[in-house]
Amino acid sequence: MQSKLFVFLGVPSGNSDADIRKLMERVHSIFIRHKIIAVFSLKEKLLSVRLDDVSFYISFLEINEDLEDWIELAANFELQFDGNPINYSGLCDRYEILENTMQDIYSPMHFDAARMIMSEMEKFKNIIIYSFQ
């Protein structure tokens, strides 16, 4: 059975301003405005957000090679990952399909929360984003 998990990975390039603490503050603030109750936890460079029985893992990777470990995790947990970077528009297109095919796993609120996370990640400069669920 597939794990109830969304993963967002940012790979900074050049002089990126990516900051996991700032991201946590921004996402937490947006969730409060939208009355989404979630538990946030930051351990070193991994931000985890728990919403109902679904986990969201967000990290900014030091180097692109760290992505290999996450790809292995995706395979182990039967998560869908095509290996390509994604932007907000592409994520919305992907979720439009998944919302119909994964109704028994995720609710619309889970997809909305994931969109909010992605939107905030894209606000950082010089970052390549990968996502799988």
* Residues 55 and 6: beta-carbon distance below 8 Å: yes
pLDDT > 70 fraction of the chain, expressed in percent and rounded:
97
**pLDDT confidence band for 33 (50 / 70 / 90):** very high
Q: If you average pLDDT over residues 12-22, what whole number do you get?
A: 93
What are the structural domain ranges in the chain? 5-132
**Alpha helix stretches (DSSP H) within 15-107:** 20-33, 67-76, 88-101
Please report, for residues 5, 41, 78, 114, 128, the alpha-carbon distance to residue 73 in angstroms, rounded to integers and kept in the order given: 11, 20, 8, 19, 19
Please report, for residues 7, 13, 96, the alpha-carbon distance to residue 124 in angstroms, rounded to integers and kept in the order given: 17, 11, 25
User: Which amino acid belongs to residue 110?
Assistant: H
pLDDT digit string, tens, across residues 48-93: 999 999 999 999 998 766 888 888 888 888 887 888 999 999 988 8
